[in-house]
Amino acid sequence: MSRERILAAARAALGRSGNPDAGAIRAEAARLVAGADRGRPPRSGTLTERFIERLTDPKVGGTVEQVASLSGLPGAVRAYLFTHNLPASIALPPDPALTALDWAGIATHHRIATDEPVAVGLAACGIAESGSLVFHSAPTAPTLHNFLPLHHIVALDTAKLLEWLEDYATGPACGGRAQPRNVNIVTGASGTTDIEGRLVRGAHGPGFLHVVLFAGG
């Protein structure tokens, strides 16, 4: 009832007599975003340099290190836990790419606790423009792993770095039935400015975000 009322009111206000021309509307929408550089911020440096520069900007608050390949991830995690005086126990999503690694010396578990100290994950891709990580929910990638831990350590394949936000939007993972239930675009550590405008980290999501870049190829 409300549906018909709202659509009729919208059509009357727009002065439509018949059904809207879907093809013409789609063409106009596509034209708006067709100009390659229309509405995009400036850029400099290589893709990886741009990603690192954005991620480590104080406003974003991420930290980063580079390893040769994904097999270097457990070593980087061990060093991180040691440096930050954290227990040798991590939440790890049931992703075969991660579980197959050699986690000797670190206890791993799939079920994440409400106040988990450390979780380690694998990003689906990265976006250089904003220093963002993209996560897709899946049986091997639960959403809560990205939000419950205090420290979030994320591996990212540099071959999966994209230039612009739109490059992700028009890529194969976005749109159609292939779209995962949740696409989480994570840009740095959780923060809030809700008390007197002061930036404080670790509001509800991770207070620390550490990215381990590797060359997957």
Partner 1 sequence: MRANQPNFAARVDAALASPTLKTAIDRTTGTAERNRARAVAAWPDFQAARDLGRDIRAHVVNNIDHYLVEFERNALATGAKVHWASTSEDACRIVVEICRAAEAKSVTRSKSMLGEEIGLPHALEAAGITRVETDLAEHIIQLAGDPPSHIVWPALHKTREQVKELFAASHRDPGAMEDVESMVQAARRELRAKFMAADVGISGANFLVADTGAVCTVTNEGNAELTTTPPRVHIVTAGIEKLVPSTTHAMALLRLLVRSATGAELTQYTTFHTGPKQPGDLDGPDEFHIVLVDNGRTNMLADGLAEMLRCIRCGACLNHCVVYRNIGGHAYGGTYPGPMGSVLTPALDGLPAARDLAHACTLNGSCQEVCPVRIPLPTLLRGWRDRSWREGLEPSSVRTALGLWKFVATRPWLYRLATAAAVRGMRLFAKRGWIEAMPLAGGWTRHRGLPAPSGGTFMQQYQAQKRKAR
Per CB under 8 A, which of residues 97..116 are in contact with partner 1? 114-115
Return the range that interacts with partner 1 (CB under 8 A); candidates 66-74, 96-104, 118-126, 163-171. 163-171
Q: Measured between alpha carbons, how far apart are the two ends of the chain, in Å?
A: 54
Cβ-based neighbours of 131, under 8 Å, separated by 6 or more: 51, 52, 53, 54, 55, 56, 57, 60, 62, 187, 188
Return the range that interacts with partner 1 (CB under 8 A); candidates 64-72, 96-104, 117-125, 127-135. 127-135
Among 125, 128, 161, 189, binds partner 1 (CB under 8 A): 189
What DSSP letter does each residue of 79-109 carry, written as one string? HHHHHTT--SEEE--S-HHHHTS--TTSEEE
Contacting partner 1 within 49-88 (CB under 8 A): 54, 59-60
Question: With left for phi above 0 and alpha for psi between -120 and 50, is residue 45 left, alpha or beta?
Answer: left
Return the range that interacts with partner 1 (CB under 8 A); candidates 9-17, 63-71, 80-88, 154-162. 9-17
Return the range that interacts with partner 1 (CB under 8 A); candidates 45-53, 63-71, 77-85, 141-149. 141-149
Q: Which phi and psi angles does 64 have, rounded to 5°? A: -150, 150
By beta-carbon proximity to partner 1, the closer residue of 18 and 217 is 18
Q: How far is the CB of 3 from partner 1 (least distance, A)?
A: 4
Number of Cβ within 10 Å of residue 41's Cβ equals 8
Quickly tell me which residue has 């049986």 as its tokens: 139
By beta-carbon proximity to partner 1, the closer residue of 66 and 137 is 137
32 sits near partner 1 (criterion: CB under 8 A) = yes
